[in-house]
């Protein structure tokens, strides 16, 4: 599904990219709108910090605009953009490594349903409060487990399980061989599995 969706985006990108390369800011704005959620999610999953993710996503788009002239269309625009975003995220992680390690998810900390003084309010219909809390608890644990991974493994996992890139595409984006990509994804997933089992008792 998503892959198909990505395919559609690609076709439209070709026209927008060529317009943007000629300096058409409106065309580039359309591209930003189209890719921003995907890029933001990628960056947020890698960095684990909302504000940092917003900043780095902006930087990635601005960097892409500057470098549009060097984009030759060998790869998809989305792949090219992803590479920029991953590199900038990596730089940011490097800068704030100490901070992120301090804020890393703690397995001992029980999920209360409230975060930063914001509590999750259940909708009037749909899943029950209990279900909502459970679901959100699991999501929070998963996010925490992802943040606990080493950056190299985290990037591979996010590109595969969040962005749904093929192993070959991941290899191209990260500049890694097929074997390394395979082993990184495998070990990252194994790490998350162990982490979730410890946190939730059962998956």
Spatial separation of the C-alpha atoms in residues 202 and 101, rounded to whole Å = 26
Tell the smallest beta-carbon distance from residue 108 to other proteins (Å): 20
Instruction: Kindly compute the dihedral angle of the four CA atoms of residues 24, 29, 34, 38, in this order, to the nearest 10 degrees.
Output: 120
SS3 of residue 159 by DSSP: helix
SS3 of residue 114 by DSSP: strand
Question: Whats the size of the chain, residue-wise?
Answer: 203
Whichever of 63 and 76 has its CB closer to other proteins, that residue is 63
Tell the smallest beta-carbon distance from residue 139 to other proteins (Å): 6
Within positions 111 to 140, which residues make up the interface with other proteins, using CB under 8 A?
138-139
Whichever of 98 and 187 has its CB closer to other proteins, that residue is 187
SS3 of residue 76 by DSSP: coil
Given 5, 97, 99, 197, the residue binding other proteins (CB under 8 A): 197
Task: Yes or no: say if 60 and 81 are a contact pair by the CB < 8 Å rule.
Answer: yes
Whichever of 37 and 129 has its CB closer to other proteins, that residue is 37
Tell the smallest beta-carbon distance from residue 54 to other proteins (Å): 5
Task: Yes or no: say if 170 and 156 are a contact pair by the CB < 8 Å rule.
Answer: yes
Binding flag, residue 182, other proteins (CB under 8 A): yes
Q: Is 56 exposed, middle or buried (0-12, 13-18, 19+ CB in 10 A)?
A: buried
Task: Yes or no: say if 122 and 129 are a contact pair by the CB < 8 Å rule.
Answer: yes
Within positions 17 to 76, which residues make up the interface with other proteins, using CB under 8 A?
23, 25, 28-29, 32-33, 36-41, 44-45, 53-54, 57-58, 61-62, 65-66
Chain residues in the site for other proteins (CB under 8 A): 23, 25, 28-29, 32-33, 36-41, 44-45, 53-54, 57-58, 61-62, 65-66, 138-139, 142-143, 146, 157, 160-162, 166-167, 182-183, 185-186, 189-190, 192-193, 196-197, 203
């Amino acid at each position: 599904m998503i892959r198909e969706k990505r395919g559609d985006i690609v076709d439209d990108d070709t026209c927008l990219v060529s317009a943007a390369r000629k300096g058409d800011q409106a065309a580039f704005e359309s591209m930003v709108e189209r890719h921003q959620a995907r890029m933001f999610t990628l960056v947020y999953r890698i960095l684990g910090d909302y504000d940092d993710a917003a900043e780095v996503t902006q930087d990635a788009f601005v960097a892409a605009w500057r470098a549009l002239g060097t984009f030759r269309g060998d790869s998809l625009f989305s792949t090219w953009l992803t590479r920029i975003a991953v590199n900038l995220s990596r730089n940011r992680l490097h800068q704030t490594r100490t901070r992120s390690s301090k804020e890393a998810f703690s397995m001992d900390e029980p999920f209360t349903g409230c975060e930063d003084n914001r509590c999750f309010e259940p909708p009037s219909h749909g899943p029950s409060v209990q279900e909502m809390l459970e679901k959100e608890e699991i999501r929070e644990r998963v996010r925490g487990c992802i943040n606990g991974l080493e950056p190299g493994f985290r990037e591979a996992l996010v590109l595969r399980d969040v962005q749904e890139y093929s192993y070959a595409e991941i290899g191209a984006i990260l500049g890694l061989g097929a074997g390394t990509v395979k082993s990184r994804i495998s070990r990252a997933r194994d790490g998350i599995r162990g982490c979730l089992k410890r946190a939730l008792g059962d998956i």
